[in-house]
Structure 1
Amino acid sequence: MKVRFTVVGLLLLLVGCASPAPPAKRQLENVNLPQTAQPAMQVTSTAFKEGQPIPRQYTCDGVNISPPLEWNGTPKSAKTIAIIADDPDAPSGTFVHWVVYNLPAENIGLVENLPTTESLKAGGFQGKNDFQKIGYGGPCPPSGTHRYFFKVYALDSELALKAGATKADVEKAMQGHIVAQAQLMGTYRRQ
């Protein structure tokens, strides 16, 4: 009888040790799961794709109107949007083509052909470009193919700037307030 209980006991012990324990629960207890990631901010245009030529109508060789821009992935903590468009390939250093700031964060884009006024109907302001004008000034490279970066910044506050600010003013005011950013790069070469 003792032998039977001992054999049965050993069999139960072996079966108990061999059966898989629920490892999933134990593994999850030791894993630090990441917070739900917010999608990265993105900027696009219906006028041109990333790395592609900017159509003539948005340049000094065309009508010189601002291109349409759209963005998504703006964090909920954002209060305003700022946009800077510039050309780092200019012979005398980076040339500023467009400065926009204090757009309400609910905006998800800018329409084509924004008026070159200091104040925008959707809220916010346009600053001074390196042509010494308010609003957009399109690509106009002296020679070769240049890159144009349209940078969109989501900010956690309104910038304490008056209308007509420069890129340097906006960049200084944005320090410590950028919660997300994205850029779209287009190229242009004069014929």
Structure 2
Amino acid sequence: MRLFLKILLGSIMALGVLAVIMHFRAKSQREEEKAYHTGLPKNLTLSSRSFPPNGDMPVNCTCKGQELSPALAWEGNQPDAESYVVLATDYDVPTPAFPVFNLSHWVVFNLPASARSLPEGASAEQMRMLGGKVGKNSTGDSKYIGPCPPLGRHGYVFRVYALDEPLSFTVIPDKQTILNAMKGHILGYGELTGYFGK
């Protein structure tokens, strides 16, 4: 019995240490992204017909509903833009009080310069017709992940970037690969945050 308790206590302590390490790693990654955006011109206005700025995302755009990607539209004078990128991230996993993971919900790239919006529930076919491509989310799938917070009210940060060239990859990229490839090519960006959960 004592051996069992020692093993159990040791396992709990190990999990606690791992959680703390992951928490600080997630915090560091978020700070790195904050630094990444410092100095970038925030000259695009990103909006959504699906939810208001800093408002609640509709159930249809979450795992509780149909898990449709939200409608997005962006405005801004970008005559030199050659492509657009859209990224969506939840920095509050599993709970805003103690995040341990930054979850990438949506990675869209190479939208043409003529594109200024995405419809709600954009299908793979619609994305192809628009000329855009979908990268890998945090689960490794090339699709939108709807909000599904286990604890607390999470913030979902959507960002759109105007680039001076399309991006080229030999494999399907994830969010970090996109961020690395965009460096030096960003003409401007805009962001919008929606919330979901209790």
TM-score, normalization by structure 2: 0.72
CA deviations over 1:82-118 (Å, ceiling 9, x no partner)? 0000001113321000000000011010011112479
> Following the alignment from structure 1 to structure 2, what is the Cα–Cα distance between the partners of residues 135 and 65?
10
Give the corresponding residue for 1:64.
Answer: 67
Q: Tell me, yes or no, if structure 1 residue 150 matches structure 2 residue 153.
A: no
Aligned pairs for 1:168-187 within 5 A: 168-187=176-195
- The total of aligned residue pairs comes to 153
Q: Is the 8 A contact 1:86 1:150 kept in 2?
A: yes
Give the corresponding residue for 2:128.
Answer: 120
Letter of the 2:63 counterpart: C
> Following the alignment from structure 1 to structure 2, what is the Cα–Cα distance between the partners of residues 171 and 162?
16
Q: Tell me, yes or no, if structure 1 residue 103 matches structure 2 residue 106.
A: no
Letter of the 2:79 counterpart: K
Percent of residue pairs bearing the same amino acid type: 36
Q: Is the 8 A contact 2:42 2:188 kept in 1?
A: no
Aligned pairs for 1:2-151 within 5 A: 40-90=43-93, 91-116=99-124, 120-151=128-159
- What SS does structure 1 have at the residue aligned with 2:177? helix
Give the corresponding residue for 2:38.
Answer: none
Letter of the 2:82 counterpart: K
- What SS does structure 1 have at the residue aligned with 2:106? strand
The structure whose residues are more often helix, as a share, is 2
- Deviation of the 1:160 alpha carbon: 1.2
User: Structure 1 residues 162 and 45, CA, compared in 2 at 3 Å: closer, same or farther?
Assistant: farther
- What SS does structure 1 have at the residue aligned with 2:92? coil
Q: Is the 8 A contact 2:88 2:156 kept in 1?
A: yes
User: Structure 1 residues 50 and 119, CA, compared in 2 at 3 Å: closer, same or farther?
Assistant: closer
Give the corresponding residue for 2:14.
Answer: none
> Following the alignment from structure 1 to structure 2, what is the Cα–Cα distance between the partners of residues 168 and 56?
28
Q: Which segments of 5 or more consecutive residues in structure 1 lack a partner in the other structure?
A: 1-37
TM-score, normalization by structure 1: 0.75
User: Structure 1 residues 56 and 182, CA, compared in 2 at 3 Å: closer, same or farther?
Assistant: same
Bigger shift: residues 86-95 or 38-47: 38-47
> Following the alignment from structure 1 to structure 2, what is the Cα–Cα distance between the partners of residues 127 and 39?
23
Larger Rg: 1
- What SS does structure 2 have at the residue aligned with 1:94? strand
